[in-house]
Structure 1
Amino acid sequence: MKLEDSQIKDTYKTIEIPVENILYKEKNSKFFGFAFPVTSEIEVKTYLENLKSEHFSARHWCYAYQIGTEVIKFRANDDGEPSNSAGMPIYGQIQSFDITNVLVVVVRYFGGVKLGVGGLISAYKTSAQLTLDEANIIEKTIDKQYKITFDYKNMNKVMRIIKEKNIQIVHQKMEMNCEIQIATRKKNAKEIVDIFTALFEIEIEEL
């Protein structure tokens, strides 16, 4: 393996399973923290809608999310709290824990005492931190996916490489014209592509 391949960052951290109802209290206000593993904005929307129906009598549903491993998408939402007093403190904790593909929501029940902007920043930050403290953070690999196309007569050749290199098969269609969809760690991708590209009558393309 070449040095530059071994230096390619192909792992990221995320949370394994949801964390729910982590309670933090400040001057009669109750802050309930939630964290969910997500990979799309559709999932974010679904979780938010579910929380709003479960906690319909709450005052605010503030949140932040980050999605992606190489191209990052994020959003922070104050949901009616003063600008940058809720969403950004929550997002700051996502950055502090160095995780991605995650949504953190803090649901606030107002207790009758105003906290001021400084108090809100502190409360939302602490609530997000306590929630992520409870999360099981795991490391995952960044994988590249490819489609290999070949005639049935070349099946053994292809399958031997897949077995030797311990390549994950995502999907396969075995007929006269065969297609196999594979996934491999980013840092191994160039080597795998080079091997298949060098073979006669076998095509590989990135998905």
Structure 2
Amino acid sequence: MLMEYKTVLDGKEGEIVEKKSRFIGAVQHIETEDEALAFIESVRKKHYNARHHCFAYVLKEEPVLKRFSDDGEPQGTAGKPILDVLCGAGLFNTVIVVTRYFGGTLLGTGGLVRAYTQAAREGLANSSIITRKYASKLEIRTDYTGLGKIQYLLAQAGIQILDTTYTDAVSMICLVPEDEKGHLEAELTEQTNGKVVMEWGESCYFAEAEDRLLLFES
């Protein structure tokens, strides 16, 4: 399982024109291969009168799944360049379809590679990209005397606090990245002389986007 990976949040389109041929790069986040195939088919239907719908997608399965298609273009001139754009950007769970409306002029293999590459990049440039991190929810229970020290420690570590409940004691639900769990637990225990109560909960992916905290199923 990937503890951290980049993916698309909001997929968009980008378009270029090369010698009167239109190349439209459409980008979408996916969770499964079926979702990738469904998106590719939706693009085909949307641009039903276009000549080619070349694509590539990458899924964070184990092992990582990579697929691409030239869809009738000369071998190696479309699908692989699109895949190279995805891999070069370090993206997972993402599909790109580049639709070509033929303009009547042959571009040659080099021209096709450049056009499909550029169209894929344009689509990504218009899309929102986020980094998803794998984390676990941690409930921290403390009395009021230990609250300030715990809040400072969490702030210094950049730990997200999802919820805080104030009763006769304080309960906080935090989101702790997987690689910080052991260190944070030790720090909390040491800084409170063992008086803090901690309980680990469910795991999920999270991402920060435009001052929003987003949670995703793992």
Amino acid paired to 2:11: P
More strand by share: 2
1:14 corresponding residue in structure 2: 7
Amino acid paired to 1:84: G
TM superposition shift of 1:105 = 0.7
1:3 corresponding residue in structure 2: none
Amino acid paired to 2:116: Y
1:114 aligns with 2:106: yes
Alpha-carbon distance in structure 2 between the residues aligned to 1:140 and 1:48: 24
2:134 corresponding residue in structure 1: 142
What is the RMSD of the two structures over their aligned residues, measured on CA atoms? 3.4
1:129 corresponding residue in structure 2: 121
- Runs in 1 of length 4+ with deviation above 6 angstroms? 189-192
Amino acid paired to 1:114: L
Give yes or no for contact 1:69–1:100 (8 Å, CA) kept in 2: no
TM superposition shift of 1:15 = 1.2
Normalised by the size of structure 1, how large is the TM-score? 0.67
TM superposition shift of 1:95 = 1.5
Give yes or no for contact 1:142–1:185 (8 Å, CA) kept in 2: yes
Alpha-carbon distance in structure 1 between the residues aligned to 2:136 and 2:82: 31
Normalised by the size of structure 2, how large is the TM-score? 0.63
| Unaligned 5+ runs, structure 1 | 1-8, 146-160, 168-182, 193-203
2:59 corresponding residue in structure 1: 67
| Unaligned 5+ runs, structure 2 | 142-153, 161-174, 185-200, 204-217
1:82 aligns with 2:113: no
Q: Deviations over 1:126-160 (max 9, x none)?
A: 11111111121111113589xxxxxxxxxxxxxxx
**Percent identical:** 31
Amino acid paired to 1:32: I
Give yes or no for contact 1:90–1:124 (8 Å, CA) kept in 2: yes
TM superposition shift of 1:78 = 0.6
